Amino acid sequence: LFVIAGCNRTPNDAASPSQNQNGGQGQVRVRQTAPVRPEIKNPQQVADRLERLAESTPRVKDANVVIFGNTAVVGIDVDGNLDRARVGTIKYAVAEAMRKDPYGVYAVVTADMDLAQRIREIRNDIRNGRPVAGFANEMADIIGRIVPQLPRDVMPHQDNPPAKSEERRDLHK
């Protein structure tokens, strides 16, 4: 009996965690702490710094940055003759350089020629004094194109699911 009782004791005669915490429920509560995204107070200064950072990456010919709220959208221009894998490597290198900047770590980087051109036009319009508020829809569209849609994030609609026979009919139309 002494051997069994000795094995059942906790170190230093302390109560076990399930008895000591959370009212004996056996659960441990942990406070989630995510890094706080810094507020961008001077968008032009941040954009200029991130552009220089992106342009310092080898094989990046030009970079344009537009700040949208607390998000920087970075469009990079690379040689159009590069294959997709090489462009992906360059884009990764830019993102890696951005990761070391307190604002760049939250940036969205694209090497898509169409999006990079749109970002360049918006940046030039902002620098020429056009109001930033007018670009909200354009920036939302650009960010929506860059950020991938992950299947695990898609929630099926539960409103009125079609009957299986209706679903088959729709597919044959």
Q: What is the mean pLDDT of the chain?
A: 76
Cα separation, 71 vs 43, whole angstroms: 10
Residue 164: its pLDDT value, please?
53
Q: What is the pLDDT of residue 145?
A: 75
Residue range 138-163: average pLDDT?
A: 65
**Does the structure show a pLDDT above 60 at 172?**
no
pLDDT of residue 2: 46
| 78 Cβ contact list (under 8 Å, min separation 6) | 59, 60, 61, 87, 90, 111
Q: Report the C-alpha gap between 69 and 108 in whole angstroms.
A: 13
Cα distance between residue 119 and residue 130, in whole Å: 14
3-state helix/strand/coil string of 13-45:
HCCCHHHHCHHHCCCCCCCCCCCCCCCCCCHHH
pLDDT tops 50 at residue 120: yes
